[in-house]
Structure 1
Amino acid sequence: MSISADRPPAHSFGVSRAPRTPLKARAAKAILKPTVNHVPVRLRFADGRVWGAGGADAPEMRVVRPKAFFARLGADTKIGFGEAYMAGDWTTGDGTDLADLLEPFAARMATIVPVPLQKFRVFVDKKLPHHQRNSVKGSRQNIEAHYDLSNDLFAQFLDPSMTYSSAWFESAEQDLEAAQLRKIDAILDDAHVTAGTRVLEIGSGWGALAIRAAQRGATVTTITLSSEQAALAQERFAEAGVDVDLQLVDYREVTGEYDAIVSVEMIEAVGEEYWPTYFAAIDKLLAPGGHVAIQAITMAHHRYLATRNSYGWIQKYIFPGGLIPSLDAIDQTLHEHTSLAVTNRRSLGQDYARTLHEWRDTFNANWDAIRTQGFDETFRRMWEFYLAYCEAGFRTGYLDVFQLSISRPAKG
């Protein structure tokens, strides 16, 4: 996981110039002002104007380039806010943490747009791009767009286990690596993984769960679509002295029979269109009496219904093809397309908020090392916004993450 200081800039994530749409910009400005006047934040402009319902101690957003900011917001409300941060059109005030600023907005996500204007949502939301469909070919491209950025990049902000999903903290004092291993052990326990268990992991990551399962004496097969992850995972298997069968295949291409199937934060990359295929594949591969344990990011069902067909900033810049399900959607898909059902669920939502905060702190602390890999300033602001945006979502409960135990109900 070496970092080359001589690597030329190779990862430019520049955003386009602010669009020239004066009417849309004026409309965005007219909507934003009364909206933020009901949110406990402060929007400060260069000319000294202040909007927002927050007092002097409220999180502060500084609008550096108002014309560009409102132009982006007017041209594409859902994507323009994040793009404006990437471009430097706005930033946080002195002493304001980005997640603290975003949290009041996340807490009001469902109601922040005035009710009379919500009927115009259909004219604002963009449909998910066809090229991001999670077909076998599309899934590979979508996964590569994020996970093949650079193993060195992820190593600079993840804990030593290289685990890129929510940890499960036992206490305020427990460090991130220990909390990640605790999370992994919980998944393996839920799937009844012991010596001799035939385990299939859908989504290898960098191998931490596969290593832990193999150390229990299980026979482990793990699959991934990321060649970068696969290469490092193989190195880590050798270092740990474990025998793991790693395959660069899609979940739709797996054959065999397994006593335990585990998958951590993979369903978000499957896409609603393919949830029946994903769960049907698990059903087909699961041996009689077997157990499934997955970790899934979720949102409330009414929010899933409202956002399922719209294209947002996260999908454009971070996770192409991604879609977060609801617990109801998972239950319904299992009921309609498999013989499986959820038997237990464990929420780790606040643990994810803490996990994301620690990742962001480490990312910022190690930015100089990341920059030498060829990542530019726009990428830094993009990644910072992504981590803070998600942290705010989990803090407020707009997002949650669950460990779900799944099996075939006993006949009787």
Structure 2
Amino acid sequence: MLVGIPKEIKNHEYRIGMTPAGVRELVAAGHQVLIEHNGGAAIGLTDAMYEAAGASIVDTAQEVFSRAELIVKVKEPQPIECRMLSPGQVLFTYLHLAPDPEQARLLIESQAIAIAYETVTDSHHGLPLLAPMSEVAGRMAIQAGAHCLEKAQGGLGMLLGGVPGVAPAKVVVIGGGVVGTNAARMALGLGADVTILDRSLTRLKELDALYGPALKTLYSTTETLEQEVTAADLVIGAVLIPGAAAPKLVTRAMLGRMKKGAVLVDVAIDQGGCFETSRATTHQQPTYVEEGVIHYCVANMPGGVARTSTFALTNATLPYVLALASKGYRQALQDDVHFRNGLNIHRGQVTHQAVARALGYGYVPAAEVI
């Protein structure tokens, strides 16, 4: 199969869909790979490295899209990229369609087959292709939040871990999944006072066993959420419902009771955000202020550490790309129900129930279309 890797064009997005090592594996399996010129140059992955791995370098994204049978990307296709897709072409990338009706419409109109990293599942009820970026985003959330707490950034002027004789910052993490766990781990490592909220007692017991009394765990109710958020210096939104829009857990009313100069980091922004006042920002302009509270809502947060993220993502996606290229998408999805859960749009039909519900489209089960 001919696999195409275009250069990412989202604001300050320097990741690329595959490393040279991944390309080498595809070529060894008998496939051809097209890489757009300088696609990975910003993170030290040069055209020469890709050529040494067996890829062919092309000058434009148009050439990648017009020739490749399978397009492998990182971020959701921008409108100009959606319009380059052709009927029956397979797109494999993050989509996050629930809060993005324009992208959904364009993908439906393209008649392409769109498989989303973030809804592929595994036998442990996990999201194996979302997990590596969730790990990165969770850890980055604390870095970003700590920076925003500095007075020069408009924050309270607090050091996350405090110093002897001075209390550390109070960090509240909403959600005990991959993002939340990694955020809590980083915050604890920096010496912060950390509380994590979740609605799964099983997960809270696991976190308690893992971190002991250093990490406070609370069952998430409206009351506990209000109490913790309004007392916090830094709040991390780490809530996820696969494929669906994130629930708005922190209201503007709660925000009005928070400390002026406190910080919210909404890692759920790709799915619409879990704070009522959230709106997507970029690495170029990452923050804004509502009710005196700093909001950091960068939609492609792992793009800020693009080299680490690219290697972590390729490690996770490569087996799936190989399956698509070697078997064709129909057989690859028929063979693996968990992979099939990644199919969001198939030739104009919405094939993921949460996406269809969020956007008001009719739902057609993936098993029926392949």
For the aligned pair, the TM-score class normalised by the smaller chain equals 0.3 to 0.5
Task: Select the structure that is richer in helix.
Answer: 1
Q: Which has the higher contact order (CA 8 A, sep 6+)?
A: 1
TM-score, normalisation: structure 2: 0.40
